[in-house]
Amino acid sequence: MNMTAEKITEQVTVPMVLSRYGYSISPKKRIPCPLHSGKDPNFCYTDKVFHCWTCGAKGNVISLTMQLHGITFPQALIRLNTDFGLGLPAQKPTIRERQQLIENKRVLAAFRKWMTEKERLYGGLCVLHRELWRRITAEEADEETVLFQQELEEWLQENIGEVVQPWQI
């Protein structure tokens, strides 16, 4: 799927398409099929996909628009972009723009991975800090443990910007 189609399917839902093009929607997400003018509620949908149990039609917002209006895939993209005011570029992105988008996704994925690892490590340091604090307040700690806890607290202050507050025992 191209990037315009991907952005459209992220921003537009099946109920939005049905409503926009004059079809009723239901809280139960079952209506008479708008594609074969059915009478019974055999057309089921979620935000992302639809399926008619009578005529067998199924797909996403783009294929629904194509079938409702008898238009091609590129025409459906243009129609959805226009009708929902998405402001997506009308022409295909250049090779350089596509490469930049791919690089942006790669960098974002690496950043998210780094943030997840940072949160995991910070959580571990908090557990360690809590256990050291418990031992000190319960008078179970030797001098080395007290020094280690102080060093940990200083490191947290310098590197993370916050010191874990002591927990109640």
Q: Could you read off the pLDDT of 114-161 as tens digits, one per residue? A: 888 888 888 888 888 889 989 988 988 899 998 998 888 888 777 765
- Do 34 and 18 contact (CB within 8 A), yes or no? yes
Q: Which residues contact 158 (CB under 8 A, 6 or more apart)?
A: none
Per residue in 64-116, pLDDT (tens digit) is 999 999 999 989 988 988 888 888 776 677 788 889 889 989 999 999 898 88
pLDDT attached to residue 87:
80
The DSSP line for 98-117 is HHHHHHHHHHHHHHHHHHHH
d(CA 118, CA 158): 15
| pLDDT higher than 60, residue 5 | yes
Q: Which residues contact 2 (CB under 8 A, 6 or more apart)?
A: 92
